[in-house]
Amino acid sequence: MEALLLLIIVLVAVLGFTYTNGFHDAANAIATVVSTKVLTPRQAVLLAAVANFIGALGGTAVARTVGAGMVDPNFITVYTVFCAMIAGIIWNLVTWYFGIPSSSSHALIGGLLGAAFASAKNNLAVILWSYQKTDPKTGRIVMEGVYPKVILPMITSPIAGFVIGFIIMGVLFGLTRHWRPIWVNRIFGKAQLVSATYMGWAHGFADGQKTMGIMALALFAAGRSVDWEHAPAWLQFLQTPKFEIATWVKWACGLTMAAGTYIGGWRIIHTLGHRLVRIKPIHGFAAECTGATILFVAGILGMPVSTTHCITTSIMGVGCARRFSALNYPLVERILWTWLFTIPATGGIAYGLVRLARAIGWLT
């Protein structure tokens, strides 16, 4: 029963991280639509919450990458997942408190990698850096692992966000150069309702799946320690003989993220929507379409890219299309340093928590 109780605690911790992901990354979906005053903050978070939930049910490719494509599950225990989640929650809360738009995705990934490394007693083989796999749908050989699915997208997606945002904004400037400003604001104010919904959906599609993968990994790991024969009948649905993304896992993560989004991350909304660069509806439309499309494509490919990185660099690109001096460069530098340290920081926290658990005697 102790193992079953621990599993329940871990599942609650995963949902706790999902909740913090919702309010931490709410700004990513609605900062622009709030800062341009197209919607009130409460209207925006309600829209984002609904879109998040629908998006979270949209696929499982990213969930499978996070849950089964980055670490060797044979070394993973329920304690491993618990320590990874606590590390991610700590980082989310600290960066939220200081209003820094850091990546919840990378906090999750860093926590999992650090906890897995400690659980494997410093055996680097636990981390699946790069390997080939046959795609069951197409029969093609594809590359999986941390390097092709995390490291490369972590570098390329922010660059893509900046460049594509810059280009789209340049095209829109060319198309509207003879329009009266009042019509530009009116038309793109309406268009932002569509782009904000698209961004909210993409956020759910990208980030909702990540915690689904972690939850599925915890359920799979618990199969080796929980005595399911003597477990209460009403908890039998938790039994998972193989790694899979159960329907109830999708709904639980989707609803929890939506609830967190509805609470809203007002500190980060202020940073993205007001302090980073001043934007109008046309800029918000361009940034949201750019960020959401990158998330959508990456999600189909099973790449757990950062929602924060995509929308933040899209806003930077859009702002620089007007003039490069529009950016708040000291703030940009602060954000970039936070991004750089997210995975090492959460990995270190999770590693320390696992080592502490082993020193106390919770792990062998």
* Nearest Cα to Cα of residue 44 among 33, 58, 57, 55: 33
Contact 350, 110 (CB under 8 A): yes
163-183: per-residue pLDDT in tens?
999 999 999 999 998 899 889
State how far the Cα of 116 lies from the Cα of 346, in Å rounded to an integer. 12
pLDDT value of position 270: 58
pTM over 0.85: yes
Name residues whose C-beta falls within 8 Å of residue 204's C-beta, 6 or more positions apart in sequence: 51, 52, 53, 54, 55, 56, 57, 58, 254, 257, 258
pLDDT value of position 215: 93
* Nearest Cα to Cα of residue 37 among 179, 228, 185: 185
276-300: per-residue pLDDT in tens?
556 788 888 999 899 999 999 999 9
Average pLDDT over every residue of 111-137: 90
pLDDT of 273 > 80? The answer is no
91-118: per-residue pLDDT in tens?
888 887 877 767 888 899 999 999 999 9
Lowest mean pLDDT: which of 88-92, 155-159, 223-227? 223-227
Range of the domain at 31: 2-360
243-260: per-residue pLDDT in tens?
889 999 999 999 999 888
Domain count, the chain: 1
pLDDT of 27 > 80? The answer is no
In the chain, the amino acid numbered 198 is Y
State how far the Cα of 262 lies from the Cα of 285, in Å rounded to an integer. 21
State how far the Cα of 293 lies from the Cα of 165, in Å rounded to an integer. 11
312-356: per-residue pLDDT in tens?
889 889 988 877 877 778 877 877 888 888 999 999 999 999 999
Neighbours of 131 (CB within 10 A): 12
Interstrand relation of 141-144 and 131-134 (parallel, antiparallel or unpaired): antiparallel
